[in-house]
Amino acid sequence: MMNSRYIEELSIMSFQNMLMIGWQYLRAFALLYLCLIAGNIISALLPFSLPGSIIGLLLLFGLLASQIIPSHWVKPGCSLLMKNMTLLFLPIGVGIMNYYPQLSQQMLPIALSCIVSTVIIMIVVAYSSHYIHRERIIIGAKQEEEKTTPALLQQSEEKEKC
């Protein structure tokens, strides 16, 4: 039979764990929403049109890349959103169904632009990948001469005679 003190300690530990997990999710979502709100404010101040969510995403990337915000602070919220991403796309899909007549009339230009842009992106990525991974000449390193000198030819002939 379990000791009542043990049960009390166990419930306190699980309550503390629950509070810790709740704090981690709260912190993650607060940081995500703060970046989104900051992006919307910056978007409203810009003289050109750029979505606030994109600016907020770039802000979050900058904060994470510069390690101002540790990645483990936003990981719980991001993991939860990534797990439920398909559920988050449902309202968009239903909203698009309202515009089905307009979309069906413009299906050829939409499909053509998707195909052409995909091909262009594939070509640009292929060329840039080849450019980045090309063989580079290291400045200051001695390069081997492919031409044979007369002295090397004489040495190789002497070795063959032996």
Q: What is the mean predicted confidence (pLDDT) over 98-121?
A: 94
Instruction: Name the token pair of 11.
Output: 């419930």
The DSSP secondary-structure symbol of 145 reads: P
Whether residue 28 has pLDDT greater than 80: yes
pLDDT tens by residue, 47-94: 999 999 999 999 999 999 999 999 999 999 999 999 988 888 888 888
Record the pTM: 0.57
Q: What residues does each domain of the chain span? A: 1-83, 88-134
CA distances from 45 to 33, 53, 63 (A): 18, 14, 21
Q: How far apart are CA 35 and CA 29, in angstroms?
A: 10
Instruction: Name the token pair of 43.
Output: 């978007």
**Residue 146, pLDDT score:** 47
Q: How far apart are CA 104 and CA 46, in angstroms?
A: 35
